[in-house]
Amino acid sequence: MDSKRKISQFRKKQQEEEANGDISNSWICKNASCRANVSLDDSYCKRCSCCVCHAFDENKDPTLWLVCESKTPNDVEFCGLSCHVECALRKDMVWVNATGNVMKLDGYFCCYSCGKVSDILGCWKKQLVAAKDARRIDVLCSRIELSYRLLDGTSRFSELHEIVKDAKSKLEVEVGPLDVPSARTERGIVSRFPVAMQVQELSSFAIQRAEYWSTNVARDLIPAACRIHFQNVAARQVKLRLIEYPSAEERGVKNYRLWCFKKGEKPEDDQFEADMNRVQTQRMTISISDLEPCKEYIFRVLSYTRAGPLGHSFAGCFTKSVEIFQPRRGDSVDGSRKRLRSMVR
């Protein structure tokens, strides 16, 4: 009752502020279950909407969302924003063996807003819990297919993935491929499909193995390296700064390395754009030139201690467009351009 009273008081206060014109610098979220005041500087409601597609779900299912949150209070490395699981998969923000030999990110997702890396196993387990309790075949199929995609290609969680792979194979014998619309519209009842009961038993077994793994195996928690702040994004050049977290000195961070590459590419570990110590990081602005217009670029930062790589951060941006007939400065006689890397005080 207390929570309902607080919600009622909050909405009443919003209505009074709107009537008095006190929210001229904000707008009201269109989500009926949220109705938060949103700054005019924000294009979407960060309280209830996806940070990738900026849409909200009227009947939000938390198991189909990823949240950038910490298990400990007052952790500034997490931004607290959320996104659809499907949006994270579409944007390649769910990683299994994704980054080469320097730091393998197997079984993690990267926040699209702040670049913080978090474990994906909790979301994977939620899909199997939903599959275990499903009463309809379409729900069972969609959850098994999603849990399969979340860890497809993993080596760190290969034992868990094999269980889901077995469950997926059993379902496909009855309903066909799970990644086609027909499997998602199958309205049969789980209790009438013997194979569905077997799949749910496998789901329960996978959950038990995941809980055992979480309890008895050391978790490789990866801290954020730093915050990537874009100062200026042009058609062919990006200027940015690396902003340290307060925990950098305590963790013994000595230097940072920055990679820049087009989305979908996999740069070599030794092809970094900048290698800076902590003093340079605090003073310098990094300028990366000779980029292509209207392309999405990924910026990846690793922090290093004396023992080796420690933290990881990630950010992306789209370069702007240029006029078709606008001449490009710095073009050589043969039309080639030299890649520039500079640090500006």
Evaluate if residue 66 carries a pLDDT over 90.
yes
Q: Which residue has the higher pLDDT, 294 or 265?
A: 294
How many Cα neighbours within 13 Å face the side chain of 100?
Answer: 13
Please report the pLDDT score of residue 26 as a whole number.
Answer: 83
| pLDDT of res. 128 | 95
> What is the pLDDT at residue 201?
93
Please give the pLDDT value at position 147.
Answer: 95
Helix (H) or strand (E) holding 301: strand 296-305
Mean pLDDT computed over 281-295: 87
Cα–Cα distance, 286 to 271 (Å, whole number) = 16
pTM score: 0.69
Whether the Cβ atoms of residue 49 and residue 30 lie closer than 8 Å to each other: no
- What pLDDT does 16 receive? 57
DSSP-derived pairing of the beta strands 341-344 and 94-95? unpaired
| Cβ neighbours, 10 Å, residue 280 | 15
| Contact predicate 228/301, CB 8 Å | yes
Task: Name the least confident of 55-59, 84-88, 182-186, 310-314.
Answer: 182-186
**Residue type (1 letter), 254:** K
Residue 213 tokens read as 């793994």
Long-range CB pairs of 252-255 (<8 Å, 24+ gap) are 252/305, 252/306, 252/310, 253/278, 253/303, 253/304, 253/305, 253/310, 253/311, 254/278, 254/304, 254/305, 254/306, 255/303, 255/304
- pLDDT at position 335 over 50: no
Name the average pLDDT for the chain: 80
Give the other-Cβ count within 10 Å of 11's Cβ.
11
331 has a pLDDT exceeding 70: no
Question: 225 near 302, Cβ under 8 Å?
Answer: yes
Q: What local confidence, expressed as pLDDT, does residue 140 receive? A: 92
To the nearest whole percent, how much of the chain has pLDDT over 90? 25
DSSP element (H, E) containing 165: helix 158-175
User: What distance in Å separates the CA atoms of residue 120 and residue 107, rounded to the nearest whole number?
Assistant: 6
Confidence band, pLDDT 50/70/90 cuts, at residue 125: very high
Percent with pLDDT over 70 in the chain: 78
Backbone angles phi, psi at 316, to 5 degrees: -135, 155
Q: Facing residues of 344 across strands?
A: 285
CA distances from 334 to 163, 172, 188, 337 (A): 57, 56, 65, 9
pLDDT category of residue 142 using cuts at 50, 70 and 90: very high
* pLDDT over 90 at 339, yes or no: no
- Rounded-to-integer distance, Cα 96 and Cα 107, Å: 5
The candidate with the shortest Cα–Cα distance to 145, out of 124, 168, 174, is 168
pLDDT digits (tens, 9 = 90+) for 229-260: 888 999 899 999 888 888 888 888 999 999 89
Phi, psi of 73 (to 5 degrees): -70, 155
Among 50-59, 86-95, 103-112, 141-150, the least confident range: 103-112
pLDDT given at position 345: 45
Closest CA to 154 of 145, 165, 141: 165
Which residues have C-beta within 8 Å of that of residue 43, sequence separation ≥ 6?
54
Q: What does the pLDDT look like over 189-233, one tens digit per residue? A: 888 888 888 999 999 999 999 888 777 655 556 778 888 888 899
Query: Residue 298 corresponds to which tokens in the numbers above?
Result: 């990924």
